[in-house]
Structure 1
């Protein structure tokens, strides 16, 4: 297998980041690992391996995955920039564990860790709100709640 250029992430690091993207897209579509595994003809354990980055996923499966969760195949690769991986490996993110991937629908960063499923649900619901004024109201409400919590913590 050819060696990677200096400064580029390892294969495992790329698989892990791509797996985070797969998981976020699957969860946003409201599908379980079993649902996707059945549709792709693999076990839910295999989907787990793709999502945690321990196994690479073939291009054929990526195509089938994208079709199953209702997104374009290219959107899965959006934001997979080697320079972003270098920044992640060097600790260049403000938040520990933040993925180097963006949601192409609204450029929101997908963040791994505590509450990540809730964040994905919130972003998915927000993206479905068609009324621009309602979206602004939701943002203002979230900011007001966060400010209240900041005041209580102080």
Structure 2
């Protein structure tokens, strides 16, 4: 009987892939640094092969991160809004990676701020971004809502 893949294993696998893509490393490069085949890296990232703790340590070292990065706030991945979980979700998509890379090439701070405002407004109107995070105070939320409503005025 085949073991069912656990949710945590899938989330760790997604985070490995996201971190690899974020630093623009290929599966072949990661495999060479870890000392395994790229096919095994594919299986790790798909969640179809379980990763031992020693191998996870090797992967973290190869990606230049601490092992705990793969587990931090993992309970919020599909639950409460969490900035890190959202970052990993975004980095796990083609559009997200294009957004990261394109945004990082924009040097003008004014353009970057305007783009961020546009994205925040579009997300709010789409209903996909919560109005609060666990760290936001009522005063911060009120200031944010006032700032956004003033941007919408002609």
Q: How far does residue 101 in structure 1 lie from its aligned partner after superposition?
A: 7.9
Q: Which residue of 2 aligns with 1:26?
A: 20
Number of equivalenced pairs: 121
Which structure would you say has the larger Rg? 2
Q: Which residue of 1 aligns with 2:55?
A: 61
In 2 relative to 1, CA 12–124 (structure 1 residues): closer, same or farther, beyond 3 Å?
Answer: farther
Q: Which residue of 2 aligns with 1:108?
A: 87
Q: Which residue of 2 aligns with 1:120?
A: 97
Q: Distance in 1 between matches of 2:8 and 2:109?
A: 36
- The question of whether the paired residues in 1 share the 8 Å contact of 2:15 and 2:88 is answered with no
- The question of whether the paired residues in 1 share the 8 Å contact of 2:21 and 2:91 is answered with no
In 2 relative to 1, CA 109–41 (structure 1 residues): closer, same or farther, beyond 3 Å?
Answer: closer
SS of the residue aligned with 2:89? strand
Greater displacement, 72-81 / 120-129: 120-129
SS of the residue aligned with 1:78? coil
Structure 2 runs not aligned, ≥5 long: 127-154
The alignment's TM-score, normalised by the length of structure 2, stands at: 0.59
User: Where does 1:2-21 land on structure 2 (aligned, <5 Å)?
Assistant: 11-21=5-15
Structure number with the higher helix fraction is 2
The reply to whether residue 51 of structure 1 matches residue 30 of structure 2 is no
- The question of whether the paired residues in 2 share the 8 Å contact of 1:19 and 1:51 is answered with yes
Structure number with the higher strand fraction is 1
